[in-house]
């Protein structure tokens, strides 16, 4: 059972480099019957990643989305953009263990996936781990409390 409120939509967005991977993840979400809001991009045409990272982060920040998924070539651009928002903890994940630790230890609420560096099927596995891992709290809560400026 997911620790996230899946009665809310999942916010998802990407730039051109993450488009194919985003479409694969949307198919997974649809197959699971999960609600989502696609913030774009909607083609492979070159775009600027902050134009999609900020709306996803805002939806999560305002409580309008259960959590967020962001994709770009390296995941650095979308993570940097999303982490400018208060109450956002966007974590770059390129493997299942990182997705698990991002949730368990950092209470991450946006997973950032480097589309150019993950193999087919890995993003889906990471998303499953991310959305089903519970934050451990305890000593990790003390650390998370120190993140915001």
Kindly give the interhelix angle for 96-106 and 122-132, rounded to the nearest 10 degrees: 20
Q: Note if 105 is an active site residue.
A: yes
> Do 80 and 102 form a contact (C-beta atoms < 8 A)?
no
Strands (E), the chain: 10-14, 36-38, 68-72, 90-92, 110-114
Q: Reduce the DSSP state of residue 134 to 3 states and report it.
A: coil
Q: Note if 149 is an active site residue.
A: no
Q: Which of 14, 16, 54, 72 is catalytic?
A: 72
Catalytic residues: 72, 105
């Amino acid at each position: 059972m997911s620790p996230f409120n899946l009665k809310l939509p999942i916010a998802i967005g990407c730039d051109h480099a993450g488009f194919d991977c985003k479409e694969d993840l949307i198919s997974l979400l649809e197959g699971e019957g999960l609600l989502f809001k696609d913030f774009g991009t909607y083609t492979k045409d070159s775009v600027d990643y902050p134009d999609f990272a900020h709306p996803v982060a805002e939806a999560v920040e305002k409580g309008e989305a259960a959590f967020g998924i962001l994709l770009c070539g390296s995941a650095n651009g979308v993570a940097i953009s999303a982490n400018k928002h208060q109450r956002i903890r966007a974590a770059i994940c390129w493997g299942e263990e990182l997705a698990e630790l991002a949730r368990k230890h950092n209470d991450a609420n946006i997973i950032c996936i480097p589309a150019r560096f993950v193999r087919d099927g890995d993003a889906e596995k990471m998303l499953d781990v991310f959305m089903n891992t519970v934050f451990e709290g305890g000593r990790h809560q003390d650390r998370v409390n120190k993140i915001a400026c």
